[in-house]
Structures are given as C-alpha cells and as structure tokens.
Structure 1
C-alpha cells in the first residue's frame, strides 16, 4: 500500500491530492486535539532514584533491546501487548532503577575510573578483537551500531558499568558459603536408598458402584470451575508455504544427485574411519633408515620403542579423513591396506611413517533410498520465491477489498475454516486441530486478535506465510452437569479408586512398620514385589518422581506409599547410605561455587533494595506508558 501511495505522488495531480489529504489530517488534529497524543512525552523522565532521572530514551532503548533479544531467542515476533503481558517492561524498568541506584551511590562515595583504565578495558574486550587477537576498530563500530551509541556514550556506559561492578565486588569480596552448609547440601544430594516395593493397580480397589445422581451432582458442584468451557474462536486460515507449493516431480535426478554428492557424508551415513599410528622423525635420513629396517623385518612397534615412544605418543586415534589435521598424513593413511605401513611422508611436523591398524568401512545410504527426500528439499527451496510472489498477490487482492478467501482463490489457494478452536489448539471435543503451520505462534496471534481485525500474516520457518481472520468469539462459560456427565462420571470413579487404593496402601504401610514383610503382603494380594537400588533425590531405579519424593520423606528404615499413573506404590526402605564428603571432590567444589554465587547474588540484591529504599524511587506512570507505546 505504501508503494502505491509513493507511486501516486509522482505526478502533479497525485501530489495535489496528497496535499489535500494531509491538510485534512492536520485539520482533524486541530479539531480533536493533538495534545493528548504527545502529552505523555512532556515529562523528561520515566522515573527518578534519589533525584537522579531515568530518561524516556534510556527506557525505550533498553526495552527495545530486551524485546529484540527475546525475539531472536524465540524466533517469533513480539508485540508491545505481548511484551507487557510477559512483564518485560517491568523487568526493564527494574534493571534501570537498580543501575541508577548504584550510579548514585558510586557518585556519593566519590568512586572514579580514569580514561586510561576505560580505554585499556575496551582494547582488551574479547568482543572487540579480531581473529589475531588484536583490537578491531570495525568490530568496535559494529558494537556501537548494535547498541545505538556514540563512542562517547559507549565509554560513559562502560564507566558506569565498571563503577557498579566495583561496588558489587567490594560487597561480596571474600564471601563464601559456610562449610557446614555446603556439606549438608552435599549429603542431601549424595544420599542414596534401596527399596523393595509393589504396585497396587486400579483393580485392587475392588468393585466401584456407579455414583448416585446426588453423589455425582455433589462431585460436579465441588469442581465446577474445572468443567468450564474455555474461550473458542472460529477462524479462517490461508497458508502459503514453500512446502505446500513444492513440486518435487519437476526436480531432475541430475539435480538431486548433485545435492546427494555434496551432503552424503554428513547426512546419509558415516564416512570411513581408520585407526592410525605415526612415528615422526627429526629428519628424512632417520625416517628412511627406519623404513628400511621395517622392510627388512623390524616391526613398527619395535621402531617406536627404540625411539622411546609410548602407544599414546604414536596414536592418532580412530579418525575420518577430515579428522586428520595434516592432509599429507591423511592422504597416506587412507591409501593404505589394513595392517600396512606407508612410505616416508612429508608431514607438517617432519617426515613420518604411518601405520593403519583397523579400518571401519563407510556406511552410506545409496542415492535411490534418499532421492525422494532430496527432490522434496530442492523443490521446497525453489518454491521459496514462489511463496513470496504469491504473498504479494494475496496482499494486493486484500488491499483491493477482497476477503481472505477471495484473495486465496486469485492464486488458487483454498481458505481453511475452523469452526472452533481454543487457546491450546483443541476443538470442542478436546481433539487437537491438526495441520496448522507455526501452531504455537498462530494460536497466540489468533487469541491476541479479534473479529474484524486485519492482522498481518505470520512468517513460517520455511519462508512461507499464514494469514488468519477471526470470524467469531465464544467467551468462556460454565457448563452444566448434563454437558459433561460422561467426563464427570469417569473422574468420580477415578477419585473413588484413588481413595480406595490410598486406604489400602495406608493399611499395608501400617503392617510393614509393625513388622510384616512386603513379600507376605504381596502374596496375599497376588502381586509381584520388585527392588530398586541406588535411588537419589534426583531420581533413579526407574521410579516416578512422586515415589522418589516419598522414599526420602520416610525414615531410613520405614515404609510408605505414593500415587502413580499406574496405581499406587507401596515400598519398604531396605538400605540408606551417605558417602563421606571430600572437599577436594570436583562435585563438592562445584557445589561450593554454586552456593557462593547464590549468596553473593542475594547479598547484592538486598543491598540494591536497601539503596532504593534509602534514596527513594519515584515512577512517572504516564511517561512510562508513553515510552512503552501503550
């Protein structure tokens, strides 16, 4: 549309018309008032900390940066409304307030950093160095562009960052977690238990009579909220993707085979691997002398031993041709027959003799097995431009006033009408609606839109597009018992089974704690007993998380039970052990480091919170909303 407006203004008549249109817009602003549009920007600060302001531009830049970071990670677009719902604006403002509090404190403490120190830090920043390790002016300029800063602004921000870090370092310097705390956490993590157990299946609950009408009604009334119908939306969808437009039948075998030859080793099997050994000599004369001895009957191993080389010294590993750093060595090694020795090879580290001890042949799928897949890939790639052309035609049709379905027909694409779908992608029967491109992003967009809204199409991962239009919204509502009677009856029965199994398992646990054996209880119920060993709090023994949690909530020789999807598990702890804690153990050291980090983070957070309390924080809601664009 913008392109058409630009084209229309090229002639005299077009410019005259656009002048009239813009004049009408100006008059409209004069009549209805332009003040309200820009009033939010009248303030020169979003917030202040101890009187130090946070400017709207600072917030906008930081807010856009965090939104762009999220979009790169999620690989999807993000509107202001979505960012607000996620709390990104609150996070941004919170970080700016914390930084400003530290800036004010640094100033009050008289902290400073010289220009030379800042310049040295910039020169030594790994982000700003090229491949040789030298400072790169081009990279520095790229960082400035990405951050939207001038060189002076970047240096000022770097100075503030370094001063904040000085305060943080002074706070946490020397802070370490108490030894008793680390050892307690280590024992908690390394403690293990063994158990014997049995599983009570649903059948062990016995016969469950159908619910009476009153019982079912009471059960339903207590859980009415869980039976509410969610919001449903009727939506029309038009998808144009390279996958749907692809014509693999038009791809020739010649093109597909060319792609196969290019990617076969990486994608369709393992290349040949060889176990290689090499002996490197200080000069060619010694290498030739050693080769002559080998040809005369001396073994490769004897030559290595004579040079005081161990197996580790001569081993190149089980490698592919590309896995050998030295091309000359690779060429020689992969030209040898099994258990043979090469001639003298001029390697990068000196003349060498190579031996191959084992060959693992390549395992490659033949072209015929993957031809259809490759043709489809090539067709999809070629259809990417077609999808873009179709996109432009559909957009032109929509601009001209055609409906989404009519716009699709102009390019031979049928619109799909979905009568009802909820935010989880289910229809009214609870069945997932299949065949939706970019399903998660599409559902999010559908439920962020409304009837009559002209939404932009979503981009798909294969460079296609999905248009949608919401045609009906059914708000969430309470369902009657008659609507969900089958579902409620099943859940009532499941609840009764769970109660019966819980009572039965409680009785079994009581008997176990009184001295009965698990085997005797299992025999009476005609159930099988099992054992699980080396169970830790993080899992083990193939047991459900609920069972593991119950095992460690029981005394070291006690019994217990826990519900699982298969019924209810009854167990008896048969062993409990905690290995001694060795401070030199790498795991204990890692735990110490993790706890130290947690303590320092908490300390800094508390310090900043107290700073903000002492300095005072004032937030300008109107300026904040204006800066957000909300």
Structure 2
C-alpha cells in the first residue's frame, strides 16, 4: 500500500492536487502562514508596519499620561482593561493610514525643507539663538531617536499636516449650529401633578395563593447574602491609646512643660455702628465729651437697629488695622468714632476677656490623649509581634488584646462592609480592604493573614463561621413578603392612575379637571432648558418634556418614588443670537473631528493585523 502511495505522489494527478491545495492555502491562509509579522513588528496597517520600538515609545507615553491623570500605574491585563495599549495602537494605526495616503499623493517635505525646519526649531538652538548641532544630537539621544528616525518622523508629520490642511477651511454647516443651539437653549414650561404613593397605599393582605405566586416571582428579593462571622482586632495608635491610662502626676508635669501652648490672648467683644451722616457723628462726639454711655448715645441718635456684633476676637483676628487699634485701646464699655471705607462709624467694646492661660482642668483630657498616643506609638511594633506570636501558636488573640486594653469586635460581615462603620478605631478607608481579605480567606484556614492598612495600621481577624447566600422560605420572610406585595400593588395602582390621566389629556381633557379627579391641584413649572437649568422638577421629567411640543403629555416615575404627570404648556425656541457652548465647541473642533473620522476611515479600509506575541511582550502579558 505504501508503494502505491509513493507511485501516486509521483503522478501528474497528485501534482495538480498539490497545486490546488497550495492555491487554497495562499488564498485563505496567507495572513497566518506566508505573511506572518516578524518579531520586530507589532502590527501592520495596509503596507505600513508599526514597529516594536515605535509601539513601545508611544505606549510608554500613554502610560505616563494615564499615571499623571489617575495616580494608578497599571501593568499587564490591568493596562489592557484601562485601554492604554489599545489607545497607543490605534494612534499609531491612524498615523500609518495617513502615511499611506501621503505616499500615494506624493506629499511630504524635501530634504532641504526638513533641514530648514530643523535649523529653525528653537529646541535645538544655542544660548545665542542659533542652531547648535551638539544640542540637536543631545536632544535626540535624550529622546531615544537616531537622526534618521527623527528626520523620517518629521517627513511623515509634514505629510500628515498637508492632508490636514484640506480640512482647515471646512466649517460646520449653519443648520448643524442651529440644531446645537436649539438643543441647548430651547425652553419648555409644563403644568404638572405629582402622585404620591401614600395616596395609593394598599393595606389589604394578599390571599395565600397570591402571596406564594408573588414570592416565587420575586425570590431574588428575599435571598440572603453570604455572611462571615469574624473576630476583629484593629491595631492602630488610637485603638492602643484608648487602653492606656495616664496618671495625674504625669499629666500635670506635661502641662507645666508645655504651658506656652495653652496661653490665651486677650479677647474683646466688639460691636460696630455705621453712621449715616455728620449729624449722627456729632451726637456721638458730644456723648463722648459728656461721658454718656454707648446705649444712651445710640438711643439719642435713633440708630438702635444699626448696631452689629463683630464677635469676640483677638487683635490678630481683626483684618482692619484702624478697627483693631481703636477696639483694643478702649476700656470695657467704651466706644469711639473712627473713619472707615464707607464713612464714619462707632466701635463699641462691650466685654473684655483678659490674656491668661487655659487651666489644667480644661486641657486635661487633651494632654492625656496626647501622652497616650505617644506611648502607643512606641509600643505598636511590640504589640504587633505579640499578637502574631499568639496567632501562630493558635492562641486566642483576645488574650493579648485584653492585656493591652484593645477592644475585640464580633462582626457578622457582609460584602458591603456596612457593619464596619460602627467600629470607631478603624480608618474610614479601611472597609474595602478588610472585606476583600475576609472573603478571600478559606473556610478551612486556621490562620488568616493580617490586613495591612498602611501608616502603622493593621487589622487582625479570625474567621469563626460562614453562612452562605441562600433562598429564604416564605415562612421566614412572610411579613416582609406581604409588605413588598403591598408596595408593588401601590406602585401598580399609582402607575395605572398616571396612565389614565395621560390618556384623558391626550383625548382633550384639561389637566385641572384630570387632576381634580385624583384630588390634586396642578402646579406650573416655569420655563426650563433641556439640561434642567432653572427647573424645580426632577431631571427625568425635564428630559421627558422635550420629547414633544406644546400639548404633549406624559408621566415619569421619580427617584423619590412619586410619579409626575405633566403637560407641556409652552415651547420657547432659542433665538439666533443666544450664546451656545455646544455650538461653539462643535464649530471649534469640527475640522479636527472631520480629519480624525477621515483617518479612521482610511484605517478601516486598509485593515490592521496585530502580532499578538509582540503586543503582549511590550504590555507585559504572560
């Protein structure tokens, strides 16, 4: 049989079949068999190669920009998830597509023109403002380009710019500008009625068959979530400090040592009275000479309502130098007439709190807390080691906690981490990391890793039990199921009423009559734009009002659980001279958008093939 096969392979029939096979492979398998991209090519667009070096350079630039904007440094699959390498590849592919067109059209810059552009580039100038070849070479080395690469990039860039010139004079059609202006600035006004679920509340108890059907159809609403019972021990400076007692003698000694911190500057309760005219000023000047009180002078001038309190302030807290000088030069109860930016005014000091020092009783707790936290900071690492040793020996960490006055918490934790909010000694941003660690722990694990929260903050936990998510039975949640059924019936009744009101409005009834049938009184909204500016209504209602013209009616459920039934009463088109940010933005960017779309179309026509191995190598995907 083998001999027969060999003889057949030498025949002209076999050679014809082999030729047909080669043609078939060439026709359908060229991309993957005969024209595979080499290791130095990441992708090919038409006949243009995107090299490994170019992709690496652009990808790194995109990555640096992403880090600056977000503070996140993604690698590998994370970078792909954020779209960073794809953005770099699309940019290079679009440039390659434009380069194909410039080559076909013979666009670009001559060597002489390139040399002129390089000499005119201020980046390569010396201190005298002249082209410096050494500066040119240094800049290229710093950027990672050879001279040939740089000149080739500039030649391609010149060609792309020439293609872009085609679109520079293109302007957005006036009709598009009018549409944008109308979309942004058209106004509506509606009359509306807000249906409240309280008015449609269903209190009937469903029959057993109804309840069972509702429960079956909404089983997911009565499903428990996975709950993990844990023993939680936060080890932070505040948590450790809470269990440290500071003696009275130590507090008194610290108070004496830091007495300067508790010095109190003199404070004065200051009032001000602007004087409306020269006659009023004369009354106060005369009262001062006669030794009359401030209250007497105010009464004589009839300015009782003009006195304003500035507060109890130190001299440093007053920003007006003239006011500070006058107020702190008076005795208690004294007043003076001074000049101000708005004319003359009277300054009155009603009370003086002399300078001194806050008493120990007032700052005792503050000093004790400061000393406790300082001591806790020095003890933190030793306590950490003791807790880890106890856990490694499978001893309850509560024993170590008790020795240092640390509080241990028994928590039934769910994935939303809401239960952790009640633990004051946990940092506010710790919940997500604790939840992740607890739910990543194996149920069989006897030892769970500590959760490092940074800045010398650690949380230890022991997994006591796991209650998996499950469907509850009707008997377990009967009251909740009945309440949910009643809520659903209430919503159905309210929606039915809204639909009937809209049907009546569409049939020609007026909103006042339709609302009266529901015991409601319509309200007027006033005018508003599509984005809800100047509107008191829910944003969904304002959007719905723009779905029709005058007389259009509809209803919209709101986030508060109500339903708004409305009728458009007025349509105010935007005037031609109304400023429009949308129209301005479209007009300013139209040429760039058109060019980008044109280049995108070129890329789609040319097609792109990707060398996945080279792509993964640059991105760092295993």
Structure 2 residue ranges without an equivalent (≥5): 1-37, 103-107, 128-138, 275-314, 328-335
Q: Give yes or no for the alignment of 1:97 onto 2:95.
A: no
Q: Give yes or no for the alignment of 1:199 onto 2:209.
A: no
CA shift, 1:541, in A, is 3.9
Q: State how 1:294-309 maps to structure 2 within 5 Å.
A: none
Of 549-558 and 449-458, deviating more is 449-458
Equivalent residues of 2:187, 2:528 under 8 A apart: yes
Q: What secondary structure does 1:572 align onto?
A: strand
Aligned mate of 2:550, from 538, 546, 556: 556
Aligned mate of 1:398, from 369, 378, 388: 388
Superposed CA offset, 1:414-472 (max 9, x none): 443423312x2246xxx976655324532563377332586563436x87444556665
CA shift, 1:501, in A, is 1.6
Are residues 600 and 445 of structure 1, via their aligned partners in 2, closer, same or farther at CA, if it must alter by over 3 Å?
farther
Superposed CA offset, 1:32-87 (max 9, x none): xxxxxxxxxxx9679434543436976995697478557737xxxx886xx84x66
CA shift, 1:190, in A, is 1.9
Q: Give yes or no for the alignment of 1:493 onto 2:486.
A: yes
Q: Give the root-mean-square deviation of aligned CA atoms.
A: 5.8
Size of the aligned set, in residue pairs, is 482
Higher-Rg structure is 2
Of 61-70 and 232-241, deviating more is 61-70
Q: Give yes or no for the alignment of 1:508 onto 2:501.
A: yes
In structure 2, what is the equivalent of residue 568 of structure 1? 563
TM-score (norm 1): 0.58
CA distance in 1, matches of 2:500, 2:321: 74
Of 201-210 and 52-61, deviating more is 52-61
Structure 1 residue ranges without an equivalent (≥5): 1-42, 125-143, 266-270, 276-320, 343-353
CA distance in 2, matches of 1:383, 1:154: 56
CA shift, 1:502, in A, is 1.8
CA distance in 1, matches of 2:222, 2:214: 11
CA distance in 2, matches of 1:374, 1:613: 78
CA distance in 1, matches of 2:567, 2:363: 54
Q: Give yes or no for the alignment of 1:624 onto 2:622.
A: no
CA shift, 1:96, in A, is 2.5
Q: What secondary structure does 2:83 align onto?
A: helix
CA distance in 1, matches of 2:414, 2:125: 54
Q: What secondary structure does 2:483 align onto?
A: helix
Equivalent residues of 1:384, 1:463 under 8 A apart: no
Are residues 87 and 168 of structure 1, via their aligned partners in 2, closer, same or farther at CA, if it must alter by over 3 Å?
farther
CA distance in 2, matches of 1:608, 1:259: 69
CA distance in 2, matches of 1:164, 1:377: 70
In structure 1, what is the equivalent of residue 433 of structure 2? 442
Q: State how 1:145-156 maps to structure 2 within 5 Å.
A: 151-153=142-144
CA shift, 1:496, in A, is 1.5
Of 185-194 and 390-399, deviating more is 390-399
Q: State how 1:183-582 maps to structure 2 within 5 Å.
A: 183-205=178-200, 207=202, 209-245=204-240, 252=255, 258=261, 335=325, 383=373, 386-387=376-377, 390-391=380-381, 393-394=383-384, 397-398=387-388, 401=392, 405=397, 412-422=405-415, 424-426=416-418, 435=424, 436-437=426-427, 438-442=429-433, 445-446=436-437, 449-451=440-442, 452=445, 455=449, 457-459=451-453, 464-468=457-461, 475-539=468-532, 540-564=534-558, 565-582=560-577
CA shift, 1:474, in A, is 5.1
Superposed CA offset, 1:113-147 (max 9, x none): 965566629999xxxxxxxxxxxxxxxxxxx9xxx
